[in-house]
Amino acid sequence: MKFIGLEEHMMPAEIFEAAGANGLDMMEPQYLEGLNDLSDGGDARLVKMDAANVDVQVLSAAAHFVQGLSPAMSVDLSRRLNDKMAAVVKAHPNRFRFFVTLPIADPKAAVVELRRGVEELGAIGTMIHGQTNGVFLDDPSMHPILAEVERLGIPIYLHPGFPPPEVYKAYYSGLDDFVAKMLSTGGWGWHAETGMHILRMVSALVFERFPNLQIVFGHMGENLPFSLARADEWLTPRIKGLSSSVADQVLEHVHITISAYTTVAPLLCAIQVMGADRILFAVDYPWGDSAHTIDFLNNAPISPTDRAKIAYGNAEKLFTRM
């Protein structure tokens, strides 16, 4: 069966070097451990894809830190990242696609780079890493970016980002430093914030303003499928101007991937809440194991039809530029 991976990261070494200490200091230790695999966009990556039976990887920059840099540096690094990933796709057009990286701290420049990335370089969507210096996608300053995304007819892949310093101090201080970093990221904080990010967008009527906007996010829905009914009960009666329920807006505008989640219970919950048509395949390479993730999906207690939708069918339908 065909497999299209949607959260498969790449970070060329020269981009890390260009970022300098400021950029690297914002990266967590677990990211630096995978630097060699992150840097590779050629034969070594293809060997691992072939061994795991991954047909296509949609490359995305592991560029959490780029959004938090100064606007000028963020613009420069975003362009360089996008040129590099486009070159990988050009060299292996049957095996790779990519998400354009944006300098979110400069919304006007982000619109320009988004247009260039999609219309000139061939990106099939964009990946945005959570809030940027405390600003979420529901903020009015982000509307030009969302409008251009909608005009281009591409989805946003909303990936977790690091918490602002104020949040980190309030929620994670008093713990062992490394444990606090893990709790604030993959251990819990990433998922809680990203699920909340979607609910902020619904609450701020973003999808009313941009009715064709589609969002993808990973990690089996960032806790949202499990908690959607509760959020719907509390928020729907209280949001003025909402044309449908919170749950309906999520189900109309949100897709999730299975990245880094390889246990059955969350998958079954996601299918029951979101429906198999809204779930896509992803590994979270290089930190997720491609072969293990494929083996999980191949053996999950779901129908062959749903398995095929998740593995590749939904991606081909959603990403029209695939």
Query: Which are the catalytic amino acids?
Result: 284
The residues pairing with 157 across neighbouring beta strands, listed in sequence order, are: 127, 216
CA distance 146 to 283: 26
Which residues lie closer than 8 Å to 84 by C-beta, 6 or more apart? Answer: 10, 12, 15, 41
DSSP state of 30: H
Classify residue 239 as left (phi > 0), alpha (psi -120 to 50) or beta: beta
Which residues lie closer than 8 Å to 207 by C-beta, 6 or more apart? Answer: 201, 213, 249, 252, 253
CB 254 within 8 A of CB 278: yes
CA distance 132 to 254: 21
CA distance 311 to 230: 29
DSSP state of 135: B
Burial class (CB within 10 angstroms; exposed 0-12, middle 13-18, buried 19+) of 133: exposed
Q: Are strands 96-101 and 56-61 parallel, antiparallel or unpaired?
A: parallel
CB 119 within 8 A of CB 184: no
- Is cis: bond before 286, omega within 30 of 0? yes
* Phi, psi torsion values for 21, nearest 5 degrees: -60, -35
Three-state DSSP at 279 gives strand
